[in-house]
Structure 1
Amino acid sequence: MEDTGQTWTDVDKLSEMDTNIKTKTLHPGLHQLTEDPLFMERKQLPDDTSCTQLCDCRRQQGHGRCGVAVVRVSGPASATALKCMAGLKRNLPPPRTALLRSITDPKGKEVLDRGLVLWFPGPHSFTGEDSVELHIHGGTAVVTAVLQALGSMSGMRPAEAGEFTRRAFQAGKLDLTEVEGLADLIHAETEAQRRQALRQMSGELGQLYQNWSHRLKQCLAHVEAFIDFSEDELIEDGILSQVDTSVYSLLTEMDQHLKDQRKGERLRSGVQVVIAGATNAGKSSLLNTLCQRPAAIVSPVAGTTRDVVETALDIGGFPVLLSDTAGLRNSPDAIEREGVRRARERLDQADLTLVVVDCVELPRDPRQAAAHLKEHLNSVLPTREQRQADRCLVVLNKTDLLPEGERQQLDREVRQVSGLPPVCLISCHTTEGLQLFLTQLQSNLKTLCGNPQSDAPTLTQARHTASPPQCT
């Protein structure tokens, strides 16, 4: 069972211990680890105490009842805790075998619950230490009673946030990149995030870095051997040329790896998608259509949206942070000018921009409409980088207000204009063209994030970008 990072939930006080316990997530416990070098030296655990952790079905945002809660114990006192809590007088149960037992208070011998107990002797456990799992009913009273009973035993203490994973790391069960992958897997909210985190947790990124380390050490050994033994003619000819070729090849690989254009980081934290355009183009309507709920106020009054409205979405398995912004125009209103400034600021931070245009406002002649569209795009996105095909989509909204023939002709004309990013014709009112727009949007997201299944291991942390150059 993987580490959820939720420790000692719903406990106010432990018997014989004056400790206030709060629910914590895995990430705070990993902050110190992620500040260390890429190949961090593993150190021995500073104490010989056993720690206890509660992993249950409840969401971390709040507490409540659940069917099953899992209490885990890791450390040298695990076997004693299992015997006392499960009423085992002699032998421990077979490793990794579930046993149905009455869970009792070791002091008062009161039966607290009836559930499954499992024994994981070290080093064949998640932490590498002796470990125990108690699968009990998830009611608040049951969980509290079991945790208090464990807390009353000598040598037991509550686990710190992420401590089970830290012990696994220090025992050599996981390397640092696998720990980061585990944290990302626990917090993954979309299918693509899950796939990327699972690949990293399986060790692919760590294996790549270890391969680089091995090749560098091999080159270093050849150079040192040449220095020490070249005069004895014990070194084959051309060894320095081989080293030079190997180092150059390795540097090329590292350079290509580092130039992933933030694909892994983007997938991990979410793609910043910004909806921009003139007032009354239908930006807020597009946001509501994609959210499938009234996330933003929609009205025929120009300038209704004054501030940035942000929502998180899962589009085709990719995490998206979608932002609706104020309409771009010159205004005497100080509040609206501030909204426009914030919109421009958000555009500078965008990974992908959806430029929404009211197609009714375009010139009736399709060729003039295409030229007007290109000019409008340059005013919304002034830099060429922002207008690249993978970073921008033009959305022609309100197509339901155009005659069928005029709509088809406009569609054909804009697709023939060079220098324009992909153009989608939709109607937020009737949802016509929405599916084609979503297909194009998913294609752009895949380009920005990559394919977490087939692409090479990606950089998911800023540390991954900073550490390899320091190693060379």
Structure 2
Amino acid sequence: MNGLQHAPAEASTTIFALASGAPPAAIAIMRLSGPRTDAILEALAGSLTAPRLATLRVLRHAGEALDQALVLRFPGPGSYTGEDSAELHLHAGAAVIEAVADALLALGATPAEPGEFTRRACLSGRIGLLEAEAIADLVAAETGAQRRQALDQLGGGLSRLYEGWAQRLRLLLARQEALIDFPDEDLPDETEAANRSDLRSLCEEMQAHLADGARSERIRSGVRVVIAGAPNAGKSSLLNALSGEEDAIVSPIAGTTRDAISVRLQVAGTLVSFIDTAGLHETGDAIEAEGIRRARVHAARADLVLSLVEPGAAPEQIVTEAECWVIRSKADLLTAPAAPGELAISTRSGQGLDRLREQLVAAVRRLTAGGAGASLTRARHRAGVEEAVVHLRDAQVQTWPELRGEALRLATLALGRLTGRIGVEDVLDTIFGQFCIGK
């Protein structure tokens, strides 16, 4: 059990959803979960099948045969959701699926919301909140790196790390409360010193966890590479060259791109968003000015900025904490070699593009290196650990025992919200709204 708030099974409805792809296909899997699961199976299949044994049955409703299907029954609390559950493996024709769904509705089942099966697994204590997020990430994974990262988290490494911290915090809090409640008792002299040492050590561990350079978050959400520069510097041409498609309009007329255009590609096994932005310059056009403002916002949030510069021009001033590469575009028109540290390319002749791609591969690997294992994958995780660190730092400087104890309590609450031990309902809608129906 993971300490999550439990939902009583008898108060829940019985839900169903198609867990497989859209018809037509070879097999369609209809999932059920809830207190009426067994009654519905008896009504459809004639009798209950043996638990966890695929059994061939003819499904009938209202005197009509609906399909010949494999029926699997998973009694609670040992099922995925912790409730009585079942799967119907149907012939995946649209008419079959519709007929079975209509029968389930008539027998009292309710269509599931996105992620509702995993939500019930979370509320029943079958999985933790962090594992539920990992399932969502695994379903959404587009790259091998995302798949491996989600499987690492699903294995419970991150939960064990945070639960270990929470357990140490509870011990610190118990010691601190002993010092507050029994000031005149003969507590060991080293209790106060041990508390301070353990508190400092725990805070340092959390800070090291945060100092990961957002590598795991980049694996999950993708690396953001922003293409910036003056109008007509060749930004859209570079985007098209990198993607191999005509994703952006290319025109000799300056200012063609007024809003950001994003193309998602895989680089070194990692998802990368290449963002073509409006040309940076002074303008009195309100629409163009808004596009330039957005371009600067994208650059400020980037993981890497490619600053394109035409021959003879000076690089634009780009405010960003990311690495910024100066790239001389239209290299076929250059009259002098690029300066040291700059890269010259031509989308017309292809000059320099292979070298740029090689450097992009190296940069993506560098930006995501070490992002496996028990590491931060979501902004929610980072915010929770950061909040706990703030309270731990406060506890270290407090001279009043009562205030130190309150700071430790607040740090414990922050970790509790992160793991789902406290206030789990506040984040469930956000997490499970990202799931597909049937998961």
Q: Which range, TM-score by smaller chain?
A: 0.7 to 0.9
**Aligned equivalent of 1:92, options 49, 59, 72:** 49
- TM-score (norm. length: structure 2): 0.78
Letter in 2 for 1:153: L
Q: In the alignment, what sits opposite 1:414? A: 340
Q: Secondary structure at the match of 2:300?
A: helix
Q: Does 1:314 align with 2:251?
A: no
Alignment of 1:445-456 (within 5 A): 445-454=364-373, 456=374
Assess if the C-alpha contact under 8 Å between 2:9 and 2:83 holds in 1.
no
Shift of the 277–227 alpha-carbon distance from structure 1 to 2, 3 Å rule, reads closer
Q: Does 1:434 align with 2:353?
A: yes
Distance (Å, rounded) in 1 between the aligned partners of 2:103 and 2:354:
57
Shift of the 41–397 alpha-carbon distance from structure 1 to 2, 3 Å rule, reads same
Distance (Å, rounded) in 1 between the aligned partners of 2:258 and 2:148:
38
| More displaced 10-residue stretch of structure 1: 340-349 or 241-250 | 340-349
Q: CA deviation at 1:169?
A: 0.9
Distance (Å, rounded) in 2 between the aligned partners of 1:305 and 1:462:
34
Q: In the alignment, what sits opposite 1:101? A: 57
Q: CA deviation at 1:45?
A: 4.6
Letter in 2 for 1:128: G
| More displaced 10-residue stretch of structure 1: 347-356 or 171-180 | 347-356
Letter in 2 for 1:130: D
Letter in 2 for 1:285: S
Assess if the C-alpha contact under 8 Å between 1:260 and 1:459 holds in 2.
no
Q: Does 1:148 align with 2:85?
A: no
Q: In the alignment, what sits opposite 1:380? A: 317
Assess if the C-alpha contact under 8 Å between 1:79 and 1:92 holds in 2.
no
Q: Secondary structure at the match of 1:53?
A: strand
Q: Does 1:461 align with 2:379?
A: yes
Q: CA deviation at 1:147?
A: 1.0
**Aligned equivalent of 2:71, options 117, 122, 140:** 117
Assess if the C-alpha contact under 8 Å between 2:5 and 2:124 holds in 1.
no
- Return 5+ residue gaps in structure 2 as ranges: 392-409, 412-439
Q: Does 1:285 align with 2:203?
A: no
Q: Does 1:397 align with 2:329?
A: yes
Shift of the 321–39 alpha-carbon distance from structure 1 to 2, 3 Å rule, reads farther
Q: In the alignment, what sits opposite 1:215? A: 168
| More displaced 10-residue stretch of structure 1: 297-306 or 127-136 | 297-306
Q: In the alignment, what sits opposite 2:137? A: 184
Percent of aligned pairs sharing the same letter: 42
Q: CA deviation at 1:248?
A: 0.9
Q: In the alignment, what sits opposite 1:157? A: 110
| More displaced 10-residue stretch of structure 1: 123-132 or 336-345 | 336-345
Q: CA deviation at 1:266?
A: 4.0
| More displaced 10-residue stretch of structure 1: 165-174 or 432-441 | 432-441
Distance (Å, rounded) in 1 between the aligned partners of 2:294 and 2:184:
69
Assess if the C-alpha contact under 8 Å between 1:45 and 1:170 holds in 2.
no
Q: Does 1:44 align with 2:8?
A: yes
Letter in 2 for 1:270: G
Letter in 2 for 1:83: E
Q: Secondary structure at the match of 1:414?
A: coil
Distance (Å, rounded) in 1 between the aligned partners of 2:181 and 2:296:
62
Assess if the C-alpha contact under 8 Å between 2:4 and 2:123 holds in 1.
no
Assess if the C-alpha contact under 8 Å between 2:38 and 2:84 holds in 1.
yes
Q: CA deviation at 1:333?
A: 5.7
Distance (Å, rounded) in 2 between the aligned partners of 1:151 and 1:333:
57
Deviations 1:371-404 (CA, angstroms, capped at 9, x unpaired): x7xxx33x331x4x54x5xx2222233334569x
Distance (Å, rounded) in 1 between the aligned partners of 2:296 and 2:375:
34
**Aligned equivalent of 2:17, options 46, 53, 56:** 53
Q: In the alignment, what sits opposite 2:344? A: 425
Letter in 2 for 1:82: L
Deviations 1:139-173 (CA, angstroms, capped at 9, x unpaired): 2111010111122224x322233221121111111
Shift of the 126–102 alpha-carbon distance from structure 1 to 2, 3 Å rule, reads same
Q: CA deviation at 1:206?
A: 1.8
Larger RCO, structure (CA 8 Å, separation 6 or more): 2
Q: CA deviation at 1:336?
A: 4.4
Q: Does 1:199 align with 2:178?
A: no
Assess if the C-alpha contact under 8 Å between 2:327 and 2:343 holds in 1.
yes
Q: CA deviation at 1:449?
A: 4.1
Q: Does 1:254 align with 2:180?
A: no
Assess if the C-alpha contact under 8 Å between 2:67 and 2:90 holds in 1.
yes
- Return 5+ residue gaps in structure 1 as ranges: 1-37, 59-63, 363-371, 416-422
Q: In the alignment, what sits opposite 2:422? A: none
Distance (Å, rounded) in 1 between the aligned partners of 2:289 and 2:161:
50
Q: CA deviation at 1:113?
A: 1.6
| More displaced 10-residue stretch of structure 1: 282-291 or 96-105 | 96-105
Q: CA deviation at 1:464?
A: 4.1
**Aligned equivalent of 1:77, options 29, 36, 46:** 36
Q: In the alignment, what sits opposite 2:89? A: 135
Deviations 1:41-63 (CA, angstroms, capped at 9, x unpaired): 444357143221211213xxxxx
**Aligned equivalent of 1:343, options 295, 310, 321:** 295
Distance (Å, rounded) in 2 between the aligned partners of 1:269 and 1:129:
33
Assess if the C-alpha contact under 8 Å between 2:4 and 2:125 holds in 1.
no
Q: CA deviation at 1:460?
A: 0.6
Assess if the C-alpha contact under 8 Å between 1:258 and 1:465 holds in 2.
no
**Aligned equivalent of 1:357, options 309, 313, 328:** 309
Assess if the C-alpha contact under 8 Å between 1:39 and 1:176 holds in 2.
no
Q: CA deviation at 1:232?
A: 6.5
Deviations 1:266-289 (CA, angstroms, capped at 9, x unpaired): 443333322111233211111111
Q: Secondary structure at the match of 2:281?
A: coil
Shift of the 323–82 alpha-carbon distance from structure 1 to 2, 3 Å rule, reads same
Letter in 1 for 2:25: C
